[in-house]
A and B are shown apart, each in its own frame.
Chain A
């Protein structure tokens, strides 16, 4: 009995460092991109002045779209295991992100993962799309209600414009 308890306690004790290691390292968008770089020996092209672009998009949409992150892998040649990729992204993004769409091909060529995350009245969107030799990773934060108003505004203007022609 004592041996059984000892084995059980050892097993539980072993789970703790494994869980800590698994959640370690950089998380979020950068964590995913870094993990892709390391795992597939590829280099991501980060769009220059992304901070500025993000700031401009926030201003232009009056807060509708913000926190834009983009990373692009060109000439991505490594075959991907869909299950492994999904696990890695889930782990790096954390449990607050929910996967809503996943498309995966057994041969590894095409992979799409879309995650969403509630951020108060805003929504975080994370998209990973691999097709052929290109892999793109995008993360944005959107305000659905605000975006809707802006879209309606443009539609309204466009209708007026059409009527004027």
Chain B
């Protein structure tokens, strides 16, 4: 009986391990089901996944002799990760507002504060920017831009400010960050929404 119990525990551990490995398939902390559904419907998908190790290597490519490069290098070295997902769809209506809402809700915790919430009814475009505040310091940024045929999700973990986004656009695959910063600035002046 003791042997049976041990075997049962062993089996349970193996199964849990397999399940956890499957759950960790995507390093982007988003609802995995939504990510898969979006990817399945999109005609083009771009994924950028830069963990701390890879950001450390990317930083080494910046010599730091130039003042701008030195600032970018310092910024990158302090980050925990940059995750970008861009989905392009053939036609409108390929993703639902429920999916967008699910993504937003995922970050609507006490740690994340919305700084931009833009809704353009005419063009059916929405922009949400949330900042993770820890002891009053920005420790992360989540950007969700939804257009009828495009969806962009950006998650930056670590100390980052809106004005830093343009510095990051030079990294491979992150050119859209410059556009995000441009979008944010006029909205803030306008008072938010």
Bound-complex Cα distance A1 to B11 (A) = 14
Tell me if B54 and A148 are in contact (CB < 8 A): no
**Segment at the A interface, from B55-63, B103-111, B161-169:** B55-63
Task: Indicate which residue in A8, A100, A107, A152 contacts B172 across the interface (CB closer than 8 Å).
Answer: A100
Tell me if B57 and A103 are in contact (CB < 8 A): no
Tell me if A114 and B49 are in contact (CB < 8 A): no
Determine how close the nearest CB of chain A comes to the CB of B16; give it in whole angstroms.
12
Tell me if A15 and B44 are in contact (CB < 8 A): no
Majority secondary structure of chain B interface residues (helix, strand, loop or mixed) = mixed
B90 closest partner in A (C-beta)? A106
Interface size of A by CB at 8 A reads: 32
- Give the size category of B's interface with A: 20 to 34
Bound-complex Cα distance A148 to B47 (A) = 27
Q: Would you mind naming 26 contact pairs between A and B with Cβ atoms under 8 Å apart?
A: A5-B4, A5-B11, A8-B8, A8-B11, A9-B11, A12-B11, A12-B14, A15-B14, A82-B45, A98-B53, A99-B47, A100-B48, A100-B49, A101-B48, A101-B49, A101-B172, A102-B46, A102-B47, A105-B44, A106-B44, A107-B43, A110-B44, A144-B57, A144-B61, A148-B63, A151-B63
Instruction: Report, nearest first, the 9 A-B pairs whose CB atoms are least far apart.
Output: A144-B60, A8-B11, A102-B47, A148-B63, A103-B46, A101-B173, A144-B61, A106-B43, A105-B44
B interface residues with partner A (beta carbon < 8 Å):
4, 7-8, 10-11, 14, 18, 42-51, 53-54, 57, 60-63, 65, 172-173
Known A144-B57, A149-B63; further 11 A-B contacts with Cβ < 8 A: A4-B8, A5-B8, A8-B8, A12-B10, A98-B51, A101-B46, A101-B173, A103-B44, A105-B44, A118-B53, A145-B60
